[in-house]
Structure 1
Amino acid sequence: MGIQDVIEGKKQWRAHLARVKALPPDYRIVYKEMQKYLFRVGPVGLLDGPLLPGIVDFFEEGVAAGKGVLELIGSDVAAFCDGLVKDSPTYADAYQESLGGKSRTTGK
């Protein structure tokens, strides 16, 4: 990864954060909670993948349709996030495999 990749990554992240900041307050609060949760349990490649921008896209569509954020995702933010990453390998899976345990995604 060269310096240009780092600079481009920072530009993309700043643009992403600007989109989040433009959301209504209730959407921003839920997004930040989702982000915290996903960073904790997180799928491998969370930062450079399409998940976080996809959530913002979904939220922007909800705002445009005049829906409240809980109408879109339900009242259980963690369950919604788990549904988003259910088929993705997570850092928790990688850690479990490193300990010689079973992975929840592969079942091996």
Structure 2
Amino acid sequence: MGIQDIIEGKKQWRAHTARVKALPQDYQIVYKELQRYLFKVGPVDLLDGRLLPGILEFFEEGVAARKGVLDLIGNDVAAFCDDLIKDSRTHADIIQESINLGSGTAEK
């Protein structure tokens, strides 16, 4: 990754966060909770993928349709996130694999 890639990535991230800040307050709160959850347990390729921009677009469409954020995602932020990443390899998968490998060698 070169310096230009880093600069471009920062520009994209700043534009993304500016769009988040343009959302209504309740949407911002839920988006930040989604983001926090996904950074903890989310897919390995979270920052390279389209998941966060996709969620932001989904929220912007919800605002345009005058829907409440909980009408879009339901009351359980974690369940919504888990459904989004159900087919993705996550950090939790990697940790579980390392635990399984560690316990497998201890038994031998």
| TM-score normalized by the length of structure 1 | 0.90
Is 1:97 matched with 2:90? no
Equivalent residue of 2:46, what SS? coil
Please list every run of 5 or more consecutive structure 1 residues that lacks an aligned counterpart in the other structure: 102-108
Is 1:76 matched with 2:89? no
Q: What RMSD in Å do the two structures reach over aligned CA positions?
A: 0.9
Shift of 1:35: 0.5
Shift of 1:99: 2.5
Percent identity of equivalent pairs:
77
1:104: which partner in 2? none
1:40: which partner in 2? 40
Q: Distance in 2 between matches of 1:24 and 1:11?
A: 23
**AA matched with 1:6:** I
Residue correspondence of structure 1 range 5-16 to structure 2 within 5 A? 5-16=5-16
Residue correspondence of structure 1 range 24-35 to structure 2 within 5 A? 24-35=24-35
Shift of 1:21: 0.3
Is 1:21 matched with 2:21? yes
Question: Which structure's CA Rg is the greater one?
Answer: 2
Equivalent residue of 1:37, what SS? helix
Shift of 1:98: 2.1
Q: Distance in 1 between matches of 2:2 and 2:95?
A: 28
Flag the structure with more relative contact order, 1 or 2, with Cα contacts below 8 A and sequence separation at least 6: 2
Shift of 1:32: 0.3
Please list every run of 5 or more consecutive structure 2 residues that lacks an aligned counterpart in the other structure: 102-108
| Regions of 4+ moved over 4 Å | none
Count of residues paired in the alignment = 101
Is 1:57 matched with 2:57? yes
